Amino acid sequence: MAMDNPFEGKEIWFGVGSQDLYGEEALRQVAQQSTEIVDALNASGRIPVKLVLKPTLKSSDGVRRFMVDASADDNCIGVITWMHTFSPAKMWIRGLEALKKPLLQLNTQHHFEIPWNTIDMDFMNLNQAAHGDREYGYIVTRLGIPRKIVVGHYTDPAVADKIGVWARACAGWQASNTMNVMRWGDNMRNVAVTEGDKTEAERVFGASINTWAVNELVAAYNAVKEDQVKDLIEDYKAKYEIAPELLDKDYDSLFIAAREECAMVNMMRANNCTAGVDNFEDLGALPQLPGVGPQRFPSEYGWGFSAEGDWKTAVLVRIGAVMGYGLDGGASLMEDYSYNFTPGNEMIMGSHMLEVSPSVGTIAKPRLEIHPLGIGGKADPVRLVFTVAPKQDAVVVSLADVRTRFRMLMNVVDVVEPLGSLDKLPCARALWKPEPNLEVSAECWLRAGGSHHTCMTTSVGREAWEDFARIAGVELATIDAETTPREFERELEIEDMYHELSNRH
Ligand code: MN
């Protein structure tokens, strides 16, 4: 079992702007140098999606065709533009208006240094991205098109890294727009923040969120073949430490848990879904609240999962899993549970009843255990127990429906080791120190109305989520090392005004 590579077969189109004014020889050099630049970026190993150089763009018709083709091509997940020379920007208007893919403006040039002693008018005419990119930047800004801007020499690893992070966000956006979310049951009774406008979510994120009856899951459970369950248990044995009783007197419980995972996976695959949610209040005839299965959604299948019908967090976990593909760490449902107020060691403990995924990295091998669950009235569920491994600059991201729009809220956090054994805690957990500190983080989180459910990513950090939010056109409020409560409150007010105004268009 492994997640499908979300970058496989995907492309980012690289369009270079110029014009006919410079003559054939100059345009030949433009094409030659553009090839060198794209080849070097592809060879950097820092961009997970292949960049594809397209023929130099010299006219309004050419730009429009490039943008229309990029928008229509399912394999093209983003467009990078760079003006090698001066490219009069009115020729970009028709094309940019037609563009439906994420855009990155690269501001680079072929030469690293000004050739102090040899530079002449020919050289300056040929190499004037500082000039051309400003003309182009004006029109993109005037048209109000969101884009990432990356500045620097193309050989600088930091430039390739920024493009690479954006490429991951493009893949996240592509995954969001092709996502089918399977809801087993509605959301937990009386909970507010897990509610939301699913129709609006499809308009904004492209994700299609629908319900399947729990009876269908029960039927799928009954239809699972024994061999599939046994194979899955072998996979558990290979990956986890297993409590001895689960292979002995509680083997039936292990079998049931594995069979539930098979049923969920079979239904997800049959319906082409990449994120799912269940609800412990609505399990029909299922014997256990699914534990180990949902925990493995991100780690084994690259799928999103969230509990209590919280489809918004499931959407985030899927996006996080895709953006972080191939990196250390991953994405998981998380929930704020308990504070540690010890001075100098203030931290938050996150966990959930069962469903936190080991995809985010674990200190030791996860242990498959069985314990009673005080709520739900079902048989004791089998779950993976582990502590999330320390990680600096991880993030927790929340998605809330704030009535007139969606708000993403992100806190930059350092995942740390617990200060004690946690031996009596029968579920997966993480400890983190939030930026800038617990007091400010929690005050700002509450101020923004962020959810208690979050997606934690230990693979990609804040930049990928910032790129994603810009692409999606969704508000992203961030709590980081620089945040103060007073400025944060003001930022939220400004965001309110901004989105009220921009929603009018
Ligand atoms: Mn919860």
Rounded to whole angstroms, the Cα distance separating 310 from 455 reads 11
Q: 371 CA to middle of ligand 1, Å?
A: 18
Tens of pLDDT, residue by residue over 101-128, are 999 999 999 999 999 999 999 999 999 9
Structure tokens at 275: 């994120």
Task: Tell me, in angstroms, the distance from the centre of ligand 1 to residue 393's CA.
Answer: 24
Q: Long-range CB contacts (< 8 A, 24+ apart) of 440-446?
A: 440/479, 440/483, 440/484, 440/485, 441/348, 441/411, 441/413, 441/479, 441/483, 442/339, 442/348, 443/485, 444/477, 444/479, 444/483, 444/485, 444/488, 445/398, 445/409, 445/411, 445/479
pLDDT digits (tens, 9 = 90+) for 210-262: 999 999 999 999 999 999 999 999 999 999 999 999 999 999 999 999 999 99
Q: How far is the CA of 337 from the centre of ligand 1 (A)?
A: 9
Give me ligand 1 centre to Cα 332, in Å.
13
- For the four alpha carbons of 111, 115, 116 and 118, in that order, the dihedral sign comes to negative
Cα of 374 vs centre of ligand 1, distance in Å, is 14
* Confidence at residue 504, expressed as pLDDT on a 0 to 100 scale: 62
336 CA distance to ligand 1 middle (Å): 9
Arithmetic mean of pLDDT, 416-436:
97
Instruction: Tokens for 305, please give them.
Output: 């999962």
Find the 384 Cα to ligand 1 centroid distance in Å.
17
Closest to 323 in 3D by CA, of 466, 145, 186: 466
The rounded Å distance from CA 309 to ligand 1 centre is 9
Closest-CA residue to 493 (of 479, 475, 480): 475
| Model confidence pLDDT, tens digit, residues 463-481 | 999 999 999 999 999 999 9
Sign of the dihedral through C-alpha 115, 117, 118, 119: positive
- Dist. CA 335 → ligand 1 center (Å): 6
The two structure tokens encoding residue 126: 């040929």
Mean pLDDT confidence for 25-54: 97
Tokens representing residue 470 in the block: 């810009």
Distance in Å, CA 82 to ligand 1 centroid: 46
Q: Are 426 and 383 in contact (CB under 8 A)?
A: yes
Measure 247 CA to ligand 1 centroid, in angstroms: 30
Predicted confidence band of residue 344 (pLDDT cuts 50, 70, 90): very high
How far away, in angstroms, is 192 Cα from ligand 1 center?
12
Q: How far is the CA of 396 from the centre of ligand 1 (A)?
A: 15
pLDDT for position 375: 81
* 426, pLDDT greater than 90: yes
CA of 308 to the centre of ligand 1 (A): 6
Cβ(5)–Cβ(170) below 8 Å: no
Beta strand segments in 341-443, E: 347-351, 367-370, 382-385, 391-401, 406-416, 429-434
Query: CA–CA separation, 432 vs 417, rounded Å?
Result: 8
Distance 458 CA to ligand 1 centre (A): 20
Would you tell me the crossing angle of helices 462-472 and 157-177 to the nearest 10 degrees?
50
Instruction: Output the CA 63–ligand 1 centroid distance in Å.
Output: 48
Task: Please give the domain boundaries of the chain with CATH numbers for all domains.
Answer: 11-176 (3.40.50.10940), 178-502 (no CATH)
Is residue 320 within 8 A of residue 396, CB to CB? The reply is no
Please tell me the number of Cα atoms within 13 Å of 411 on its side-chain side: 33
Q: How far is the CA of 307 from the centre of ligand 1 (A)?
A: 6
Residue 505 reports pLDDT greater than 90: no
Compute, in angstroms, the gap from residue 504 CA to the centroid of ligand 1.
35
Q: State percent of the chain over pLDDT 70.
A: 99
Contact 386, 364 (CB under 8 A): yes
353 C-alpha vs ligand 1 centroid, how far in Å?
7
Q: How far is the CA of 454 from the centre of ligand 1 (A)?
A: 9
Q: How many CB atoms lie within 10 A of CB 195?
A: 16
Cα 452 to middle of ligand 1, angstroms: 7
The chain-wide mean pLDDT, for the chain, equals: 97
Q: Residue 427's pLDDT is what?
A: 97
Measured in Å, residue 312 CA sits from the centre of ligand 1 at 12
User: How far apart are the CA of 191 and the centre of ligand 1, in A?
Assistant: 10
Q: What pTM was estimated for this model as a whole? A: 0.98
Distance 352 CA to ligand 1 centre (A): 6
**Residue 258 CA to ligand 1 centre (angstroms):** 22
Closest of 394, 436, 401 to residue 416, by C-alpha: 394
Provide the CB-side half-sphere exposure for 421 (13 A, CA).
2
CA of 329 to the centre of ligand 1 (A): 22
The continuous run of DSSP H or E covering 231 comes out as: helix 226-239
Q: What is the mean pLDDT of residues 364-378?
A: 92
Check whether 144 has a pLDDT greater than 90. Answer: yes
pLDDT band at 374 (very low <50, low <70, confident <90, very high): confident
The pLDDT, as a whole number, for residue 456 is 98
Q: What pLDDT sits at residue 24?
A: 93
Q: CA-CA distance, 59 to 79, in Å (whole number)?
A: 17
CA 453 / ligand 1 centre spacing (Å): 6
Q: pLDDT, tens digit, for every residue of 298-339?
A: 999 999 999 999 999 999 999 999 999 999 999 999 999 999
Distance 200 CA to ligand 1 centre (A): 23
Going from the Cα of 126 to the center of ligand 1, the distance in angstroms, rounded, reads 59
